[in-house]
Structure 1
Amino acid sequence: MVSGVIFQVFYGLMGSWTAYLISCLYVEYRSRKEKENVNFKNHVIQWFEVLDGLLGPFWKGVGLAFNCTFLLFGSVIQLIACGSNIYYINDHLDKRTWTYIFGACCAFTVFIPSFHNYRIWSFLGLAMTTYTAWYLTIAAIVNGQIPDVKHSGPTKLVLYFTGATNILYTFGGHAVTVEIMHAMWKPRKFKWVYLVATLYVYTLTLPSAIAVYWAFGDQLLDHANAFALLPRSGARDFAVVLMLIHQFITFGFACTPLYFVWEKVTGFHTSRNILVRAIVRLPVVLPIWFFAIIFPFFGPINSAIGALLVTFTVYIIPAAAHMATYRTTFARENAVEKPPRFLKSWAATYLLNLFVVLWTLVVGFGFGGWASITNFVHQINTFGLFAKCYQCQPKKPPTH
């Protein structure tokens, strides 16, 4: 448990640093383009465009591939979570059927034009996750420890690094940083907003994780969804409903950048006709729906995506791109954003970026990738593809 807490703090701070790097590159790109009198009216700037403008087509291609793939599977994870959570309120339908239903519901996000329209939803999502996290904390403490609870933790390296990579995924959600910054009136404040948000997330994740682990111990190794372990109550059902709404919002957050990319490919990005853009966006939802049905492994898929995609998308590429952008003396002297005060120099910034790249490459992608893929293959061998009800307990026969 101690190492889990340390990993949460460490990856949270490292995620805040790379979010800061992305914000610096966005501000640099926009500043250069505005000097060239480029007009961004009716155009949303995206990460791959920042990489293209600052570093060229190779970086654009790499950034686009990783970013789109991560956001696609990030949307898949939200859809899987919907099917998994609602099952603990209504188990008359299996998780796969619920995923079909929520896939259709989430498809309505095609009608939400941009991140400007998610402002109020963001605040509501914050309230929902706050309630759910503190419900888990209080419910675990009130219900107490289960009989003969064991706290042996992960007994194999595979389980240890799978868990660590799951945490890396949790604090790697800033793949939509550029799109969110573009929707802000004062984009430069994003780096501080993100840091404060990370500190607030600690108040939600740490107490709930510690309390639930204290109460259920090793049972969590076989139950990816904590709702499955808590007794049913009105408070639990309310938490599940709130998380379903939150996951709908998060699905929109993850999928909207994909909508933008597809609109630009098809030539409809600047259209002001919401209905036309919604119809154009619909094909993006179909592969998400399909992958959520074929890989319903709530939990293991998070760590697999974390190791294979999050590592590069929001850690390695931003750190490497920042070093490449400011590699020349001229670029450093004319940088819009100078190194932060606590580092004071470009040399220290480069060293920190190099550490992020090497650590993520070796621990996150290397060990994490090995562990996550091993665990993912185990889930496929155990439950099979298109699993009807992943980790569901056998239903008790009706009593007469």
Structure 2
Amino acid sequence: MSKDVDYSDGKLADAEALVQGVDTGDDLDQHPGHGAPASEVSQSPLWKKLIWEGGFPLDGFLTAASAQVILNLPNSMAKLSLVGGIFTQVGCAAFAVYTLFLLVALYHEYKRDEVRKGTWYNNGGKTRTRVTQYHSIITNVTGLRWLGEFARIVNIVELVGLGVAQIIASASNFYSLGTGLSKRDYTFIFGALALLTTLIPSFRNMRLFSLLALIGTTYTSWYMMAESWKHGLNAAAATQPPLGLDAFFQGFSNIVFTFGGHCMIMELVDSQFRPSKFSKTFATALTYVTLTLTLPNALFTFLAFPAEAAVKGNAFAIFPPSAAKNVGIVLMVAHQLVAFALFLLPVSIMWEKLVGTHYKALRWRLSSRIPVGLFVWFIALMLPFFGVINDLLGAFAVTFETYIIPCVAWSLYYRTQERRDNAILKPPRWLGGWTGAFILNAFITLSMAVAGLGFGGYSSVVGLIDAVSSFGLFAKCYNC
């Protein structure tokens, strides 16, 4: 029976309550993660509570829903065929929601262990300033340091790649407004702007930025649907077969990439005032994204422009010039700059810990992040291949961090009856309980290893080799 103790002010209670009061997710929610506790935030000025101090389910929803790929999904739909594209999007979204549940369960086991040992609060035993990260959770719950380090490497590769993709996409989108400058010139410009976003302190401070990003993806997706409907849908496109085996798995890898934000999710969970409720928040966000943004915009655009969707990786290149399109371009560039901040934040925190600034004053923490942003900017200039980067990340990074590692780590942790009996978050009955979860984990691991990493990896490497052979490194203009 949990002892009723109030931890909302971020301070430790007596030792007995500390050990006994962590039996449920609600109990653990009373032990704040990094950042100011809810009681302190509630006393902040109104303007600060409205636009700066997050940590509520709304903030979790906005952040989870805003960092979303939409512009190259019509191309993926064309590569996969209509039925293949729909099935892959819905399947990957459902699996992503499920594996997020697994990670949140492991986060709570990690947190309970830290609380019981008395090591959760690191700031003189009063508050927690250390950010909990994906690889730390994997190391702790599995006891396998090599698996945690592998998770760290995979996440760094993906986070850096995602940052690169945002700069490339910004340059590509703005280039379509007018060709006064080359895409490389725009990459210089937007790389500099993106660098500024690394100065946003934490996920707690993303509310206004995430709202702007979600407005951008929502407007652009609905614009694409409206423009496609206005143009007219081609019924024959619905029966068009995949474009070939390599193209099929390139499209598959890109859709896997679309739902691969788990590399930043643990930091977001740790910033929430009620982490135990985040699984529902994430499921709501991904349902909104899949059913109102990614699936409809890909479907409508492909049915209206099947030939163009098959050859153009950026959907803006498909639609005719218009004021509505220009608004979408500007909003999507804003979205991509925000997404850059979201994806670079976890790797920036890793960098802070490496160089020893993570526990120092905010000015030292933020200034120490600049080399990370500069490195990502350089990679974007060197490999400006819109779409190809997404396919590579989907095959070699997302398959691990979103799908395989959560399934393997969860199965390893709960392999004993004692841990299953004491689990904070148990698998739902409709899934088949523990047996159903273990079977589903094995299926996801095997299918993603074969289709995503194997076939998808091969096809993505072929695409990269073709791009480098055709345009070279530091290309001035890719697909102009």
Q: TM-score, normalised by structure 1?
A: 0.94
Q: SS state of the match for residue 206, structure 1? A: helix
Residue 36 to residue 150, structure 1, CA distance change in 2 (3 Å) = closer
After TM superposition, give the deviation of residue 153 of structure 1 in Å: 5.1
Instruction: Write out aligned runs for 1:176-215 (5 A).
Output: 176-202=264-290, 203-215=292-304
* Counterpart for residue 319 of structure 2: 230
Instruction: Write out aligned runs for 1:84-233 (5 A).
Output: 84-144=172-232, 152=240, 154-202=242-290, 203-233=292-322
What's the CA shift string for 1:309-343, capped at 9, x where partnerless?
11111111111000111112222122111122312
Residue 149 to residue 27, structure 1, CA distance change in 2 (3 Å) = closer
What's the CA shift string for 1:162-197, capped at 9, x where partnerless?
111111110112211110001111011111111111
* The 10-residue stretch of structure 1 (60-69 or 149-158) with the greater mean CA deviation from structure 2: 149-158
Taking only aligned residues, the RMSD between alpha carbons, in angstroms, comes to 1.7
1:47 aligns with 2:134: yes
* Counterpart for residue 341 of structure 2: 252
Aligned length: 390
1:343 aligns with 2:431: yes
Instruction: Write out aligned runs for 1:46-85 (5 A).
Output: 46-56=133-143, 57-85=145-173
Separation of aligned partners in 1, 2:378 and 2:212: 29
Cα contact 1:95–1:389 (8 A) shared by 2: yes
Partner amino acid, structure 1, of 2:98: W
What's the CA shift string for 1:254-298, capped at 9, x where partnerless?
0000110000111110112x3222221111112211211111111
Question: Which ranges of structure 2 fall in alignment gaps of 5 or more residues?
Answer: 1-81, 123-127
1:2 aligns with 2:90: no
After TM superposition, give the deviation of residue 388 of structure 1 in Å: 1.1
Separation of aligned partners in 2, 1:382 and 1:149: 29
Cα contact 2:238–2:303 (8 A) shared by 1: no
* The 10-residue stretch of structure 1 (13-22 or 36-45) with the greater mean CA deviation from structure 2: 36-45
Cα contact 2:233–2:300 (8 A) shared by 1: no
* The 10-residue stretch of structure 1 (315-324 or 216-225) with the greater mean CA deviation from structure 2: 216-225
Question: Which ranges of structure 1 fall in alignment gaps of 5 or more residues?
Answer: 393-400
Compare relative contact order (CA 8 Å, sep 6+) and give the higher one, 1 or 2. Answer: 1
After TM superposition, give the deviation of residue 143 of structure 1 in Å: 3.0
Q: SS state of the match for residue 111, structure 1? A: coil
Residue 221 to residue 55, structure 1, CA distance change in 2 (3 Å) = same
Cα contact 2:183–2:476 (8 A) shared by 1: yes
Partner amino acid, structure 2, of 1:330: E
Partner amino acid, structure 2, of 1:8: Q
Separation of aligned partners in 1, 2:139 and 2:238: 52
Separation of aligned partners in 2, 1:275 and 1:254: 20
After TM superposition, give the deviation of residue 84 of structure 1 in Å: 0.6
Partner amino acid, structure 1, of 2:83: V
1:25 aligns with 2:106: yes
Partner amino acid, structure 2, of 1:390: Y
* Counterpart for residue 374 of structure 1: 462
Residue 178 to residue 88, structure 1, CA distance change in 2 (3 Å) = same
Partner amino acid, structure 1, of 2:204: H
* Counterpart for residue 34 of structure 1: 115
User: Percent of aligned pairs with the same residue?
Assistant: 38
